[in-house]
Amino acid sequence: MRASMSHKFGREYGLGTEPWKEHSTIPGRFTGNPSLSVTVSQYMISLHRRKVRLGEVVTSARAMDEPIMIRLWEFACQTPQKDFGPTTRQQKADDPTEWAGFNIRMMLYLLYLVSMTCLLRYDEALRMTWADVAFQNPRPTDFRVKLNLPFRKTHQYGDIAPFYLYGQPNRPWMCLVTAFAIWWEISRQKVQNLDGFVFRKKIGTDSTSQSFLECFRNNLLDIGIDPRPYGTHSFRRGGCQYLHIVLKWSFRQICNWGGWADDCDNPGTIFKYLLSWNDSPDRDRENYMNPARPLTDPCRACGRTCHCA
């Protein structure tokens, strides 16, 4: 609510982002954004304190993790391709699992994966067009996808660094090159000249955040997962955790990749993405100091199974 007020005063009324304060030379005249006043800040802190005392806890969307992505990938790949056209409403009503076919599931998986890997908000991913996607072959043995996004919330005036995405043969469920290739081939069967949105509910119409969230929840139900803790921000949070925990990226590298400030002027933001009580624990607390605790899955680079790999 406060963010909406700050945006209203700052953007539509042109009051900017300076704190609300009395003019230094004109007594009785105030300048700045009223929503950013000291009084409002004190009230919000007091409100948060009272809510905590009453037992209310702010819950963020649960982060996506690699095991769930594996199950979504396998389910999409196992979905049979049908030749008799789109599923009718009657068929969907008779069998809820028929809410989407192979094509839609593959499109959704690409949307999940690009949001998670590139740390994109769902609206940033949905705005992507085929003109923003470039398939490159810089060396004979390398093939990559280059994403040039036209808009990001943190870069509203341009100067957006591109994303360079390479194949992941050891992790096909996390391979954006494969996901882009599959959806490009499917789209070319419907439309010869791909110049519109990459993600579409139907070929010829752009997708929306509401339809994306509905499809995401249906997809989780397909694999037997309760969708209620998850939301559109789950992939951005899950991407941060995947890059740090699985790929061992440093905080600075994650900030640079995700478009956060290079000087990390707000370190609390990234920690909120990495840590939350609502996320699935990666290991049991009772085994933290247990020298005989179960080993992890083998590292796909070195083959080690120890927890320090």
CB 114 within 8 A of CB 175: no
Give the contacts of 100 (CB within 8 A, at least 6 positions apart). Answer: 87, 108, 215, 218, 219
pLDDT digits (tens, 9 = 90+) for 105-138: 999 999 999 999 999 988 888 888 899 999 988 7
Phi first, then psi, for residue 205 (nearest 5°) are -130, 140
CB 119 within 8 A of CB 234: no
Separation of alpha carbons 266 and 273, rounded Å = 12
Provide the pLDDT confidence category of residue 139 given band limits of 50, 70 and 90: confident
SS3 for 13? coil
CB atoms within 10 A of CB 238: 26
Span 67-72, mean pLDDT? 94
Q: Which residues pair with 202 in a beta bridge?
A: 205
The position carrying tokens 């056209």 is: 85
